[in-house]
Chains A and B, each alone.
Chain A
Amino acid sequence: MTANETAQGVPDGAALARLLQVGVVIEEYAEEKSARLLADSVDDDVRDTLLESLEESTEHRDRLVELVSRVGADVDPETVEERVRDAVEASVEEPADEVEALERQLESELMAYEFYDDVLTAIDDSDFGCMDRDTVDEVTSTLSEIRDDELEDAREIEGRLTR
């Protein structure tokens, strides 16, 4: 790549597909991490929150896998799951209490929210040329919904932590 002035958006459809694949990993990571946080030290209330987040991550991941396919690429969810599970088992410890569990769940929600927000901003500045408008619209609309879900969850957890 040279340093000529370029558009600051997503360079092309292949880069968009790669970013969506990164999203699949982020959701898988969030799912596995939520499962790890479901330790004996958390009460039923926090456990319900973590289970809801876990299920939502699964749903988001499945939607992203579909989007990857829609833009003409692929991703192997089983390989991603295996790699991410190994990484989480090696690096994520069980929480000491409910507050720590919620704080760490909040980290996952914020990472996902900020990632989708960055991608959506970049898509706004992009011209995908040969990619049809319907596909770009579908990507934008799905990512916007997922981003909004993440923000809503983050706010809910922040609210609980400050109560």
Chain B
Amino acid sequence: MGETIQAPGLRIACGRLDAGTLAANFADAHPPLSDSQARIEADRCYYCYDAPCIEACPTGIDIPSFIAKIADGNLRGSAETILSANIFGGACARVCPTEILCEQACVRTAQESKPVTIGLLQRHATDFLMHRGLHPFARAPETGRHVAVVGAGPAGLSCAHRLAMLGHRVTVYEARPKAGGLNEYGVAAYKLAGDFAQDELDFILRIGGITILHDRRLGRDVTLASLRATHDAVFLGLGHQAVRVLSLSPEPLAGVMDAVGFIEGLRQTAKSGVAVGARVVVVGGGNTAIDAAMQAKRLGASEVTIAYRRGAEHMSATGFEQDWARRSGIRIRTWCAPKALLGEGGSVSAILFEDGGDGPLVEPADMVLLAVGQLFDATPLQEGLAPAIAQGRIVVDAHGLTSLPMVYAGGDCTPGTDLTVSAVQDGKVAALSIHAALTGSV
């Protein structure tokens, strides 16, 4: 279709692919296991003692136990084992980089370079429960305590769910119109296909005792001081609200946007309404770069290049993701730091690199997506007494407690790996700490 686009302003276009192709391109990237596939795979698990996979899971799911239950035909029990450690077991089964976590640690990786497909098995068990509309947990009797959670992402909702389970009342303050955080706005569409993020949200809220207030932005609609005054404890699951800026042209050029915004638009719009260039260059080396590049390709871009300033081994995107991108026809160029963007009639036409690395110095492009990092923005906390910040993140102890009494934090706004599963663990740990503090059980 590229040849039909002549004017510079039309280089970025919607609807490059027909509806059927778009639907197929954004369907489940890793289809679920059938019952028989799950049984066969479950039988491969050795039920290790002191299993390394458990240690590799940030939420510490008892993986051998949940797999043994699948092998035993006890799917409900299996799902409960998963969800008791990680209420986002369904999302994590889909988005976790298992190749650097549980599946890397699986002893079958050491034995035969072929781990038990733990992620797919986890999805099999959690799907069983969620498809039946079952919620496996019941709330403890009301404690009369009320906790504020800021941010309805994985960290905040994990915290909220655990607190609600323990009998506390939780109000979640969310800046956006939808809850789910990155699961709703950030993860590649084909990883959480359909409306999974909202389905999972419904599943989590079924515990009861959680109220989500939308369009309540910290620093604008509510302040930390007001929340502390009206609640027994506060959990901050603020995530990243800012992207690192890379200024490569003296004036703004059409066709240049940050990858996070591109993905967000893509998640919230019908795919046929999302504009994409014919020649797309994504600058960055993380999973966001991969997700943006993959989705640009799936929207119908004919050439997609990821340009990274250092070597492939330095990319924070996992090897699995890099390979997947290459297999999808995406070129990954390394050792090419961007120097400037070239424009033509107000639109980007090429990107110039300081060093071409393994390719030319000038890469033609009608769309440039910048995926050079996301940042925690502490501005909303500036008013009044703020928790201590160090190296751009909220400082917390091992229990998720900030420098302020009864103010906890977790997820991407705190130090540590920026993974969904880590955020879920942070929320869970903080909830248990809050519970202990509120009930004096420590």
Q: Do A and B bind each other?
A: no
Which chain A residues have a beta carbon within 8 Å of chain B's beta carbons? Answer: none
Chain B interface residues toward A at CB < 8 A: none
